[in-house]
């Protein structure tokens, strides 16, 4: 679970995982909660200590803290890299993903033999029309030019077997769209429907502007369709200009109509200039992605890695790697 400034949610989250760990005990499944602190500044570590001082957890808690805020996609990748279980479950820390659904994920993995079991959202009536249209457009663009389809209503909430998440680690790119990478690894996959819940505390860290930026990064990291659309736009503008030129000549030679030069010139220059700027912007996005990839900078930097365990109301630090 990656989290950023979710201290208010952590007590409820830890209690919910306590119930899940107890529910999985009859299957002889041991649970470890791997929390990835993506550079939080709200004393989430202190909240963890307070909860462990007042409870006896039925599971291990590991806290991986990144040196700064790298973003959710990178924090998820850090968690996948650090995981070492027979299977892992990715989910948000805000409890909008129902924790009890993990039992269905485990049944799909153990009883039915699926390597990937993911949750997909039922359509939410409270979601705005604009957000629905943005999501639909985003997945349409991504799926039109990708090797594997991305499920529009599925997110990061999923279980992956060891061989599935080991395969996910093989993708080296820095500009990551995790939802796209899930589809690229393949393996037997099953979907389970769920109804997203309201946050128990705190607020979403994604403003409309951040959602737009994340969508643009995801499209340019996973699809070349915008580049192809730029070519089509150039061809369309060329055809339009040719048709307009032919029409102007016919009006002058056949009908004797004198076409005003100044307005026509301004319209043509503005149209062509706008098309060029849009095309340059799209190409610039891809060039920027190339620059990031060729630098080969670390995807993330780990500040600390702590294994926490509740022992008679005392927080015992078993290991600490920096």
Confidence of residue 310 (pLDDT cuts 50, 70, 90): very low
- Is the residue at 160 inside a domain? yes
What was the pLDDT predicted at 208? 61
What was the pLDDT predicted at 124? 59
- Is the residue at 173 inside a domain? yes
Residue in the block written with tokens 């930097």:
301
More confident residue, 210 or 314: 210
The answer to whether residues 53 and 7 belong to one domain is: yes
What was the pLDDT predicted at 200? 66
What was the pLDDT predicted at 160? 92
The answer to whether residues 312 and 291 belong to one domain is: no
The answer to whether residues 170 and 233 belong to one domain is: no
Q: Mean pLDDT over residues 190-198, rounded? A: 81
The answer to whether residues 263 and 164 belong to one domain is: no
State the residue range of the domain holding 278.
225-295
Q: Mean pLDDT over residues 141-148, rounded? A: 61
Structure-token pair, residue 8: 């208010």
Confidence of residue 139 (pLDDT cuts 50, 70, 90): low
More confident residue, 49 or 213: 49
Q: What is the pLDDT of residues 201-234, one digit of tens each?
A: 656 555 566 666 666 666 666 666 677 777 777 7
The answer to whether residues 92 and 233 belong to one domain is: no
More confident residue, 240 or 225: 240
- Is the residue at 109 inside a domain? yes
**CB 275 within 8 Å of CB 233:** yes
> To the nearest whole percent, how much of the chain has pLDDT over 90?
6
Average pLDDT value over all residues in the chain: 77
What was the pLDDT predicted at 316? 40
Burial 190-223 (b: 16+ CB within 10 A, else e): bbbebebeeeeebeeeeeeeeeeebbebbbbbbb
- Calculate the alpha carbon distances from 42 to 36, 38, 50, 120 in Å: 14, 11, 14, 31
More confident residue, 170 or 251: 170
d(CA 88, CA 102): 10
- Is the residue at 219 inside a domain? no
- Is the residue at 81 inside a domain? yes
Whether residue 116 has pLDDT greater than 50: yes
The enclosing domain of 136 has a CATH number of 3.90.550.10
The answer to whether residues 140 and 202 belong to one domain is: yes
- Is the residue at 88 inside a domain? yes
The answer to whether residues 126 and 167 belong to one domain is: yes
The answer to whether residues 273 and 307 belong to one domain is: no
Domain count, the chain: 2
Whether the predicted model's global pTM rises above the 0.85 cut: no
What was the pLDDT predicted at 87? 92
The answer to whether residues 96 and 129 belong to one domain is: yes
- Is the residue at 272 inside a domain? yes
What was the pLDDT predicted at 320? 40
The answer to whether residues 124 and 188 belong to one domain is: yes
- Is the residue at 75 inside a domain? yes
Q: What is the pLDDT of residues 76-101, one digit of tens each?
A: 989 999 988 899 999 988 888 888 88
**CB 78 within 8 Å of CB 302:** yes
The answer to whether residues 305 and 236 belong to one domain is: no
The answer to whether residues 274 and 310 belong to one domain is: no
Whether residue 313 has pLDDT greater than 90: no
What was the pLDDT predicted at 286? 79
């Amino acid at each position: 679970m990656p989290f950023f400034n979710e201290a208010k949610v952590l007590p409820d989250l830890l209690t919910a995982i306590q119930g899940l760990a107890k529910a999985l005990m009859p299957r002889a499944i041991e649970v470890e909660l791997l929390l990835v602190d993506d550079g939080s500044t709200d004393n989430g570590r202190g909240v963890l200590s307070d909860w462990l001082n007042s409870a006896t957890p039925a599971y291990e808690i590991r806290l991986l803290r990144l040196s700064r805020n790298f973003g959710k996609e990178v924090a998820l990748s850090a968690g996948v890299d650090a995981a070492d279980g027979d299977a892992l479950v990715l989910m948000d820390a805000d409890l909008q993903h129902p924790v009890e659904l993990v039992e269905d994920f485990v049944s799909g993995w153990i009883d039915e033999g699926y390597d990937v079991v993911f949750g997909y959202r039922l359509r939410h009536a409270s979601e705005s029309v604009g957000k629905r249209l943005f999501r639909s457009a985003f997945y349409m663009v991504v799926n039109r030019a990708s090797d594997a389809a991305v499920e529009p209503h599925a997110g990061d909430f999923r279980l992956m077997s060891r061989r599935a998440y080991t395969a996910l680690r093989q993708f080296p790119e820095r500009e990551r769209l995790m939802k796209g990478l899930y589809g690229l690894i393949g393996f037997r996959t099953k979907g389970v429907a769920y109804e997203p819940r309201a946050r128990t505390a705190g607020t979403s860290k994604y403003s409309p502007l951040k959602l737009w930026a994340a969508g643009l990064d995801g499209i340019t990291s996973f699809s070349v369709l915008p580049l192809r659309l730029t070519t089509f736009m150039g061809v369309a503008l060329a055809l339009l200009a040719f048709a307009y030129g032919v029409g102007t000549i016919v009006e002058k030679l056949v009908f004797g109509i004198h076409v005003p030069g100044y307005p026509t010139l301004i319209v043509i220059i503005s149209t062509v200039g706008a098309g060029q700027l849009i095309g340059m912007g799209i190409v610039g996005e891809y060039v920027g992605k190339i620059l990031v990839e060729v630098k080969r900078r670390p995807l993330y930097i780990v500040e600390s890695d702590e294994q926490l365990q509740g022992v008679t109301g005392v927080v015992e630090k078993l290991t600490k790697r920096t």
